[in-house]
Chains A and B, each alone.
Chain A
Amino acid sequence: MSTPRSSGYFRTSYARDAALVDTRAQKGWLAALGIALLAYPFVAGAFALDLANQVLLTSVGAIALMLLTGYAGQISLGHAGLLAAGAFTTGILFKETGASFWITLPASAAVGALIGLVFGLPSLRLRGLYLAVSTLALHFMVIHAGQEYETRRGLSSGVVIDSPISDPRGWYFVLLAAAVATVLFSLNLLRGRTGRAWRAIHGREAVAEALGINVKAAKLSAFIVSCTLTSMAGCLFAYYRGFVSAEAFSMFVTIQYVAAVIIGGIGSILGAVLGTVFVVLFPYGIEALMASLGLSDRLSSVIFAVNYAAFGLAMILFLVFEPQGLVGIWRRAQAWFLLWPFKQKPVGK
């Protein structure tokens, strides 16, 4: 999984090894990316801005799932349930007490951490499939609790939340800050002791334990961190949509997040972001394709079904032909430009 480098690149100190950005070229590109991201809302139209907001919002949850599945190796099929937990915590607090954002966000985080602990407990005894199934069961329970609240309070169509920000441009900066904070937090965590412990238990638990890693603590911390982040994303989601309803958190949402992680490429934060971009833009791409083929009139009533089918097909194609995901393609492209005009594979790949 090493990044290809041009010759003359040496790491001579441990600090340099752990640095997030170390070459001048990387700093340059990062600055360019930063400027592009900050300038984006001033050049993009309303539709493009909404797409960017969706990508940023989804990327928080996708990165959280990547930490858990891609790094710590724990499968979760319950991420929609976690989003729902955050969103409903926000919705209920807002509805019942009129709490502000500065109360609902920490409350969502606390609920997420608690659920993370509950989600994580089965992982101490179960592995692989069985763990995935237990998270699936928890998903249904969280959704049921949300539905129960809706019916008890007579809010059958959902909870309406007044958002403090209504300007999409304002939202863009809030969500950008949230996404960047998540990326930085995750990268920082991953290069430290916790992240190394996660990768070790992903590799092989028995060896990790022999190396002195507290496997139980590492697993639980992975679940708690991932669930807390996802739940906070759920809180943002509630404010962004201005509306919380159990129908919005179906199994398909979980599948979308898992697909973002898989299509992006397991074990890479960049992959989570790329996968999110793919998953969020995919339905719009299909719609545009249909329109250009002149099919959209005939299929307008079943456009969501076309989306479903195409999405499943895309997932299958990635699983079968590109298990490394978009990040694998990205790395190959990087290596190709680096080695051009030669075509050797980089050593150690």
Chain B
Amino acid sequence: MQLAVNIAVLAAIYALIGCGYVLIYRVSRVLSLAHGELMMLGAYGLAVTASLFGGHPLIAIAAAAVLALCVGFLVYGLLMWRMTGESVLAAVLATIALGVLLRGAMILFFGTQTQYPLQNLGWSNVSIAIGSARISAAGLVLVLGTAAVYGALFLFLHASRWGIRMRAAGQNPLLAAQRGIRLHGVYALAWGLATFTGGMAGMLIACDAGIESTLVTIGLKAFPAALVGGLDSLLGALIGAWIVAGAEVLLIHYVDPLLSDVVPFFVLLAMLIIRPWGLFGTKEELDRV
């Protein structure tokens, strides 16, 4: 029972981070390797707003969320728009360089000590019993929040005007541009949303375990989840997260705790060999030889 709860929390983490990879890839065909760093930046954003708006946790959370969204827009507006239409390698390298820059800047501004934004918010992380298992309050919020984010994203992509534009731009950018869709606006929105969801994940993990440098590793480990499900499918990211999280928790429990960092990449490699386009990805999308 405890294992199932652990899997659910880890899967929620991976799914919430993974949907950022999927959003950016699906819309602009760019793989963002700075996602872990952006996620950490979101967590630090919460730490800052929590100390700014001392007595008002809700305002602090809302401000941090808006901040994460704006950071995403900024990343596109300052850097990534120059990479539109460049080679895949150039765009991926730009995100890697951004990640290195952000990591250095974050250490400069926030130091290397573990921070606990939850204390600044004035809340404590109580442990809740579900049957025979226990789950932390932040973990429960994480699971529920992920479900809410996915629900909202499905609605947004299928029912709202901007969501439909995003799907159109992802399917065929040239045609979409011809039809009068502003590609830069759509791409910027994708980066904004991805950073927002990543930032949410970062904030919630920070509430559960504090902000540490391992956050970046968690961000990178969520990438296999997105790829296993198919890089251009949100549903795939959700299911991929469950598969990767399940494999990770079970192998750590029954085989070796040291495996934690490699299991997602084992799953990734297995998937790349068997079915490179993922469980729910579109086969045509993969630039196959």
A316-B98 contact, Cβ under 8 Å, with A305-B108, A323-B90: yes
Nearest residue (CB) in A for B37 is A312
Is A258 interfacial (CB-CB < 8 Å)? yes
A126-B108 contact, Cβ under 8 Å, with A141-B265, A309-B101: no
Report how far A310 CA is from B100 CA in the complex, Å. 9
Report how far A308 CA is from B100 CA in the complex, Å. 6
A316 touches B79 (CB 8 A): yes
CB of A285 to closest CB in B, whole Å: 15
A140-B261 contact, Cβ under 8 Å, with A133-B272, A302-B107, A319-B93: yes
Report how far A307 CA is from B224 CA in the complex, Å. 29
Nearest residue (CB) in B for A122 is B272
Report how far A133 CA is from B226 CA in the complex, Å. 12
Binds A, one of B130-138, B195-203, B239-247, B281-289: B281-289
Interface residues on B, range: 35 or more
Report how far A258 CA is from B266 CA in the complex, Å. 24
Report how far A136 CA is from B264 CA in the complex, Å. 12
Q: Say which residue of B104, B223, B273 sits within 8 Å of A133 (CB atoms).
A: B223
Report how far A138 CA is from B105 CA in the complex, Å. 29
Contact residues of B: prevailing secondary structure? helix
A133 touches B227 (CB 8 A): yes
Q: Which B residues are in CB contact (< 8 Å) with A307?
A: 104
CB of A141 to closest CB in B, whole Å: 6
Q: Which A residues are in CB contact (< 8 Å) with B102?
A: 312
Report how far A320 CA is from B268 CA in the complex, Å. 31
A125 touches B100 (CB 8 A): no
Report how far A308 CA is from B107 CA in the complex, Å. 9
Is B184 interfacial (CB-CB < 8 Å)? no
Q: Which B residues are in CB contact (< 8 Å) with A148?
A: 258
Is A313 interfacial (CB-CB < 8 Å)? yes
Is A346 interfacial (CB-CB < 8 Å)? no
Question: Beyond the given A132-B31, A302-B108, could you list 17 further A-B residue pairs with CB under 8 A, ordered by the A residue number?
Answer: A69-B89, A125-B276, A128-B88, A128-B287, A134-B268, A137-B272, A141-B269, A148-B258, A151-B258, A255-B96, A304-B107, A305-B103, A309-B108, A312-B104, A313-B101, A316-B97, A323-B86
12 contacts between A and B (CB under 8 A): A125-B289, A130-B276, A133-B31, A137-B269, A255-B96, A255-B100, A305-B105, A305-B107, A306-B108, A309-B105, A311-B100, A312-B102
Q: Which B residues lie at the A interface, using CB under 8 A? A: 31, 79, 82-83, 86, 88-90, 92-94, 96-105, 107-108, 111, 223-224, 227, 258-259, 261-262, 265-266, 268-269, 272-273, 276, 286-289
